[in-house]
Amino acid sequence: MPKTRAEINETEKEYWNEDKLDRTKIKQLRRHAFHFSYKREKKILQKLLKEFNNKKVLELGSYSWAAWFNEDTKPKELTCINISENELNKGKALGKDRPFTINHILMDANELSFADDTFDVVFGAAILHHLDIQKTINHVYRVLKPNGIIVFLEPLNMNPAYRIYRKLNPQERTPDEHALVQSDFKILRQKFSFDHYFLDFFSVIFGFISLKIYGDKNYDNLINKFGHKLDVLFSKIPFMYVFFARVIIYGNKKSYK
């Protein structure tokens, strides 16, 4: 029998409040495979974050903004929500002495309680795949002002190799999370016009080779660089997106008359 949303929420809270995830195994590979894509990701986000200035911004999550925002990112007001008190407190600790107002609210992203047309921007990092995407996207659409902006960074689960890896390493994720697949993009298109940047396919393959050669060091090497260059090239080919590991989604609320 499928779990109810309430049951899933309780499991999510338990995992995040008690820090149950163990990503020790994958971190070494990520340091190689994502070395150059993290730099590309940062450049892309810095370009997109210019739209956040002087805007009312909502993060689905509580502290990704601390990694994303630079000294030039100054929203009019930032509101952060999380279902986990532990995660919310991490955001509060990082939010001291910032040059903009930050509100931290314990809230389920599946059931946003904000009024319609409240925010100019909604964003999140690795959050949608923990949620009921249909419900959450409906709420995001509702609380965004006309032509409001979305920016999400999410894992993908369309490459068969990634699916096998996830099944073999359940300790790295919460039991009910679901990295994005094609049907999730269809849900997003119902409410938003958006574009995307796909990250990490060849870089994972070459990162694995690099890890075996160098161990957990020397990430800035020609093997990793070559994998990254291939990613940038092949990510521009439409049918190749199903092989990539991550995506940055950015776009605007559709207008229905």
User: pLDDT-based confidence at 2, cuts 50/70/90?
Assistant: confident
Q: For residue range 166-219, list pLDDT tens digits in order.
A: 888 999 999 999 999 999 999 999 999 999 999 999 999 999 999 999 999 999
Helix, strand or coil, per DSSP, at residue 71: coil
Q: What pLDDT does 160 receive?
A: 92
Chain centroid to Cα 221, Å, comes to 27
Interior CA angle at 38 toward 168 and 210, to 5°? 60
User: pLDDT-based confidence at 257, cuts 50/70/90?
Assistant: low
Does 1 have pLDDT greater than 80? no
Helix, strand or coil, per DSSP, at residue 202: helix
Query: Which CATH number covers residue 64?
Result: 3.40.50.150
Q: For residue range 213-248, list pLDDT tens digits in order.
A: 999 999 999 999 999 999 999 999 989 999 999 999
Q: What pLDDT does 25 receive?
A: 85
Q: What pLDDT does 96 receive?
A: 84
Q: What is the largest CA-CA distance in the chain?
A: 58
Q: Which distant-in-sequence residues (6+ apart) come within 8 Å of 47 by Cβ?
A: none
Describe the crossing of helices 35-48 and 24-33 by its angle, rounded to 10 degrees: 80
pTM for this predicted structure: 0.95
How confident is the prediction for the chain on average, in pLDDT? 95
Does 256 have pLDDT greater than 80? no
Q: Taking a C-beta distance cutoff of 8 angstroms, is the pair 150, 250 a contact?
A: yes
- Span 104-132, mean pLDDT? 97
Quote the number of domains for the chain. 1
Which tokens go with 19? 């820090």
DSSP for 122-166 reads EEEES-GGGS-HHHHHHHHHHHEEEEEEEEEEEEB--SHHHHHHH
Give the C-alpha separation, 100 to 157, whole Å. 36
- Of 96, 90, 40, 47, the closest CA to residue 72 belongs to 47
Q: Which domain holds residue 209?
A: 5-253
Taken in order 145, 146, 149, 152, the sign of the CA dihedral is positive
